[in-house]
Amino acid sequence: MVPPWHRLRRAHRCRARLEVPKDAANSAWICNGSQLTHPVIRPTVTEILNNLVKYHGHDTPILAYREVLSAKKSMATNGKCGQLDNKPMRRLRLGDYKWLTYGRVDSITTSLARGLAANGANFGDKILILSETRVEWFLWAQAVAKLGACIVTLSPNLGDEGLAYGINQTEIKLMIVSGNCVPKIRSLISQIPTVRTVIYIDRNHFQLETDPKCSLGDQITGFPDTIQVLSMREVELKGVHRSDIALQTPESDDPFVIIYTSGSTGAPKAAVATHRQMVNGSANSLLSLFKDIIADGTRSHTYVAFLPLCHVFELTIEFFLYY
């Protein structure tokens, strides 16, 4: 057992220091202690993702999801449907976990990245992901990083005004939305004039829609002719046949993600995180929390993801543990 005074001394240890010790007014604060020395670590998230199969192996399982087998309204004791954030609650019946390997994820995300490029997305573009937390969210985030574009996140729980504000401020041309969010975007389309392409996560692509009875065919109609509407599957299949597309690697100080707040105090506010910050800053902070788990070398630990991926903590921790 560790003596309590030892724990207290460690708790009070300084974990940050000035980069320029005698210039407190202008110097940045940097992590004091463990630096990332893991073999997979590279200067950018993109380079890390491109080297994971080589390090971990093609057939190593890494990412799991569960299919929604059925969904029904969750009834309260008063006989009415339960509500959460003014939305009806559903009781889901889920299937067993299905695992994707590093090799499979790499194949999917590379095809999605090339599919994005084939449909007009470019290196450095800002691409919105508007979806609840689900496996496709993480796959799309990797694909956008492999393209060398910048992820933009907005909470799907935002109201119309907040969504339109974030989309217009970042001048989104291409967005990726879950089937549940398609009607909201369709109703806003006249207020977001820069949008040219909407990619929806089709229910059959891992079958994760929370309402199996919803008809995506009905939801994706009604967009103006000026808007290109594509399914995730269409984009992936197009990318499979476009191996001729070369994907660029960003620089360390290029933006990796623009994350918006939930808009609880007015218009949503954005923060930008670069590749360097995601690798050297956020990941280093998490290393201090998870170093004992990582050091055991067994890869026997599992992280259950349910927090919003549109927020920085969940996004950072999922990328960090995926490495």
Domain span at residue 260 reads 45-62+103-322
Average pLDDT rounded to a whole number, residues 216-240: 88
Report yes or no on 282 lying in a domain: yes
Beta-carbon count within 10 A of 21 CB: 8
Q: Could you tell me the CA-to-CA distances from 169 to 162, 173, 229 in Å, in that order? A: 11, 12, 22
Q: What is the pLDDT of residues 76-125, one digit of tens each?
A: 777 777 766 667 777 888 899 999 999 999 999 999 999 999 999 999 99
Rounded to the nearest 5°, which phi and psi values hold at 43? -65, -25
Report yes or no on 186 lying in a domain: yes
Task: Tell me the torsion sign for CA atoms 153, 133, 64, 294.
Answer: positive
Report yes or no on 27 lying in a domain: no
Report yes or no on 6 lying in a domain: no
Q: Is-above-0.85 flag for pTM?
A: no
Task: Give the pLDDT score at 217.
Answer: 59
Q: What is the pLDDT of residues 179-211, one digit of tens each?
A: 889 999 999 999 999 999 999 998 644 443 444
Beta-carbon count within 10 A of 278 CB: 22
Coil, strand or helix: which one is 276? helix
Structural tokens at position 319: 């990328």
Q: What's 206's domain CATH number?
A: 3.40.50.12780
Q: What element of type H or E holds 239?
A: helix 232-240
Report yes or no on 298 lying in a domain: yes
Checking if the pLDDT of 59 tops 60, the result is yes
For every residue of 125-147, DSSP letters joined together read -EEEEE--S-HHHHHHHHHHHHH
H helices of 148-215, in order, are: 160-169, 182-188
| Residue whose tokens read 């974990």 | 15
User: Domain count of the chain?
Assistant: 1
Report yes or no on 188 lying in a domain: yes
CA 128 – CA 120 distance, rounded (Å): 14
Q: What is the pLDDT of residues 134-183, one digit of tens each?
A: 999 999 999 999 999 999 999 998 999 999 999 999 999 999 999 889 99
Task: Give the pLDDT score at 282.
Answer: 75
Share of the chain above pLDDT 70, in %: 85
Checking if the pLDDT of 7 tops 80, the result is no
Report yes or no on 110 lying in a domain: yes
Structural tokens at position 108: 């999917």
From the list 115, 71, 75, 100, the residue with the least C-alpha distance to 247 is: 115
From the list 153, 169, 135, the residue with the least C-alpha distance to 260 is: 153
Q: What 8-state DSSP symbol labels residue 278? A: I
